[in-house]
Amino acid sequence: MKIETIAQDGYERVAKCEDPESGLRAVISVHDTTLGPALGGLRMWPYASWDDAIFDVLRLSKGMTYKSAVADTGLGGGKSVIIGNPKTDKSEQLFTAMGRFVDSFNGKYITAEDVGTSVEDMIHVRKGTERVTGLPLDMGSSGDPSPWTALGTFRGMKACLEEVYGDPSFEGKMVAIQGCGHVGVYLARLLKEAGAKMILADIAPERARDLAAEVGGIVGDPATILEAECDILAPCALGAVVNDETLPNFHTKIIAGAANNILLREEHGQRLKEAGILYAPDYVINAGGIINVSIEVEGAYDEERARAKVENIYHALKRVFELSKERNLSTNEASNLVAEERLQAGRERAVEA
Ligand code: NAD
C-alpha cells in the first residue's frame, strides 16, 4: 500500500492511497480538527481522474467542518472517496484495505457510509480500522441515520414556522415533499402526527402513492412539485433545486428540507431572501444523522442523548435566523458565519491551553 500526502493550503492533511493488491485507489481529506476528530463519509464513485476525486473530497470535507461546527457535535470535518464503480468494483479486500488507509490517520479521521457505500461495506472497513461509525445497532453502533435526519428536519421546520408565522404549529400548514425515500418517509410520519397537510412527489410513483395512503397526503407530480402552493417546500431528493430556472416559480414561504446542496450557488440564498422566502440552510437542518453519529463517537451510544441533541437543531436555526436579521445576511451566509465563529473560538481555546 502506497500512501502519499498531498500539500493543500487550508487543509490539515490530504493523502492518496494506491494498493495494487486490492485495487484500492482512494483519497482522504482532513480539513479541520480544531473542534474534534474529522468525521465524514466514504464515497465510492467512478471519478474520471485523480484530480476529479481530489476536487470532490476537498469540497465535501470542508462542508463537513461547517456542518459539525454549527451542529456543535465536537467533531471536525473530513471525507474520503474511493475511485471505482460501486456496482461492479466492490470487494471485501478493497474495503479492508480502505480501513487500513483510514487507520493510518491515527484517529484524526473517522469514516462512515455515504453515496455508493453501505453498512455492509463498513463492516469490511472495520476489519482494517476501529475508526468507523454507522455500523448496525447490534454492533453497538448508532444504526440508520435517516430517522434522525428526518427528526432534525422536522424540528428545523418548526423554527422556520415560528420565524415566518410567529407560531411553530404545523396545524393546517401545507408541506410539499420532493422525494419519498429514506428521509422523506420518516419526515412525513412526523408531519402527520403534528397535523400538517402534505403533497408528496417521487419519480418512483409507487413511493409517493404508498406514503400518501399512509399519512393521508395528496400525490403530487414530480415534474411540478417545486412549484406547489405551500407553506413549506421540503426538498428531500436532489441538490441544486434552487437555481435561476426554479427561483421565479416557487409558491412557498419556506424552503426547508433534508437534501444536500439545495442551492446551486451561494448567491441563490440571497435571491431567496429578496423573494421573501425563508431558507433553512441545508447543512444546518439536515445534521441529525451526523449528530447521532457524534454521540456514538463520544462513548457508549445513548439514544436519548442523541434525541435531545438532534432536537437542538431548532435552536441552531433560530440562531442563524437572528444573525441573518442582525447583519442583513442571507441565511446561508449567516450559517457560514456561525461556523467560522465557532472555529475561531476553538482555535483561541487551543492557543490558551
Ligand atoms: P433516498 O435515495 O432514500 O431517497 C430519495 C428519493 O427521492 C427516492 O425515493 C427517489 O426516487 C426520489 N427522487 C429522486 N429524484 C427525484 C425527483 N426529481 N423528484 C422527486 N423525487 C425524486 O435518499 P435519502 O436518504 O432519503 O436522502 C434524501 C436527501 O437527503 C439526499 O439529498 C441526501 O443526500 C440527503 N441527506 C440524507 C441523509 C440521511 O440520513 N439519509 C442525511 C443528510 C442528507
Half-sphere CA count of 335, side-chain side, radius 13 A:
27
Q: How far apart are CA 202 and CA 211, in angstroms?
A: 10
Residues in contact with ligand 1 (CB, 6 Å cut-off): 145-146, 149, 178-184, 201-204, 207, 222, 236-238, 258-260, 286, 289
Give me the residue spans of the domains in the chain: 2-63+75-132, 146-287+315-339
- pLDDT range class, residue 353, cuts 50, 70, 90: confident
Catalytic residue from among 16, 62, 67, 79: 79
Beta bridge partners of 3: 17
- Phi, then psi, of 340 in degrees rounded to 5: -65, -40
Distance in Å, CA 107 to ligand 1 centroid? 30
Q: Among residues 89, 102, 91, which one has the least CA distance to residue 124?
A: 91
Instruction: Choose one of 149, 200, 245, 283 to mutate for the ligand 1 pocket test, by most ligand atoms within 8 angstroms of C-beta.
Output: 149
Q: How far apart are CA 9 and CA 39, in angstroms?
A: 20
Between strands 38-39 and 76-83, the pairing is: parallel
Residue 222, pLDDT > 90, answer yes
79 part of the active site: yes
Angle value at C-alpha 98, between 93 and 104, nearest 5 degrees: 130
Q: How far apart are CA 208 and CA 203, in angstroms?
A: 8
Are the C-beta atoms of 152 and 285 separated by less than 8 Å?
yes
Count other Cβ atoms within 10 Å, centred on residue 186: 22
- pLDDT one-digit tens code per residue, 51-106: 999 999 999 999 999 999 999 999 999 999 999 999 999 999 999 999 999 999 99
Domain 146-287+315-339: CATH superfamily is NAD(P)-binding Rossmann-like Domain (3.40.50.720)
Instruction: Choose one of 115, 119, 219, 236 to mutate for the ligand 1 pocket test, by most ligand atoms within 8 angstroms of C-beta.
Output: 236
> Same fold for the domain at 2-63+75-132 and the one at 146-287+315-339?
yes
Residue-level pLDDT at 136: 81
Q: Among residues 146, 142, 114, which one has the least CA distance to residue 297?
A: 142
Region 12-20: mean pLDDT is 98
- Phi, then psi, of 304 in degrees rounded to 5: -65, -40
Count other Cβ atoms within 10 Å, centred on residue 275: 12
- pLDDT range class, residue 243, cuts 50, 70, 90: very high
Are the C-beta atoms of 44 and 81 separated by less than 8 Å?
yes
Q: In sequence order, which residues have a C-beta less than 8 Å from that of residue 4 and are 6 or more positions away? A: 15, 16, 17
Half-sphere CA count of 131, side-chain side, radius 13 A:
23
Region 230-245: mean pLDDT is 96
Buried-exposed string 306-340: b where 16+ CB fall within 10 A, e elsewhere: bbebbbbbbebbbebbebbeeeebbbbbbbbbbbe
Half-sphere CA count of 104, side-chain side, radius 13 A:
20
> Environment class of residue 172 by beta-carbon count within 10 Å: exposed (0-12), middle (13-18) or buried (19+)?
exposed
Secondary structure class of 245 (helix, strand, coil): coil
Count other Cβ atoms within 10 Å, centred on residue 223: 9
What ligand 1 atom has the least distance to the C-alpha of 238?
32
Residue 28, pLDDT > 90, answer yes
Tell me the pLDDT of the chain averaged across its residues: 95
Angle value at C-alpha 353, between 340 and 63, nearest 5 degrees: 25
Provide CATH code, domain 2-63+75-132. 3.40.50.10860
Across the beta sheet with 254-255, what order do the strands follow? 218-219, 197-201, 174-178, 232-235, 254-255, 278-279
Angle value at C-alpha 290, between 236 and 299, nearest 5 degrees: 155
Count other Cβ atoms within 10 Å, centred on residue 267: 12
Beta bridge partners of 28: 15, 80
Residue 140, pLDDT > 80, answer no
Residue 298, pLDDT > 90, answer no
- Chain center to CA of 283: 6
